[in-house]
Amino acid sequence: MDSTENGTEQGFSLLLDDQLCFALYAASRAVTNRYRPLLEALGLTYPQYLVMLVLWEHDTVPIKDIGAALQLDYGTLTPLIKRLESAGLVRRERRPDDERTVLVTLTGQGQELRERARTVPTDIGDAMGLSPAQFDQARRLLRLVTANVSASG
C-alpha cells in the first residue's frame, strides 16, 4: 500500500497506478471521449476525423500514405474510408498509371466540412488545460515514447 518499496528504480511494479502505460491508455480514451460530441455534430468518429485531417492537408492521398501518416493498416482504413465515401465526404478511384493504388480525394462536401471543423482543435486544446509549455513538452515526450517503442521490434 505504500510507495517505499516501489519496484527497482523507476516504478516498474505491478501496481496499476505506477504504470505509465495505463496513464497513456486512459488519457487517450478520455480525450477521444471529449472529442465525441464535437465530432458527432460533424458526422465523424475520431479516427475518421484523423483521416480528414490528412485529406484537408493534401486533398488527394493514396490509402497507403494515409496509413503511413496515421500508423493504421488497411484492415482499419478500408472500411473506414468506405464509410467516409458513403457519407459523401470523399471519392475513391484507382490511379490510372497504377491500378493497385486507390486515391482518396475530398469531395466538395469534404472540403466544406473543414470550415466547420476549424474550432475543434481549439475546443479540445482548451479542455486539456495545459500551458503552452506543458503542451509542447507532452507532445515531445509522447513522440519520444512512440519512436522508442516502435524501434527495434
Partner DNA sequence: CGCAATTAGCTTGCACACAATGTAATCGCA
Partner DNA sequence: TGCGATTACATTGTGTGCAAGCTAATTGCG
Residues binding DNA (CB under 7 A) = 29, 32-33, 36, 45-48, 62-64, 67, 71-81, 83, 92, 97-103
Q: What Å distances lie between residue 132 and 23, 125, 129, 152, CA to CA?
A: 21, 10, 9, 32
Residue 56: name its binding partner from a second copy, DNA, none (Cβ under 5 to 8 Å by kind).
a second copy
Q: Can residue 118 be called a binding residue for a second copy (CB under 8 A)?
A: yes
- Shortest reach from residue 32's CB to DNA, in Å: 6
Q: What Å distances lie between residue 110 and 39, 79, 89, CA to CA?
A: 14, 17, 4
Beta-bridged to residue 94, according to DSSP, are 102
- Shortest reach from residue 60's CB to DNA, in Å: 11
60-89 positions binding a second copy, by CB under 8 A: 69-71
Strands 98-106 and 90-95: antiparallel
Q: How far apart are CA 24 and CA 145, in angstroms?
A: 10
Residues engaged in binding a second copy (CB under 8 A): 4, 7-16, 18-35, 46, 50, 53-54, 56-57, 69-71, 114, 117-118, 121-122, 124-125, 127-130, 132, 134-139, 141-146, 148-150
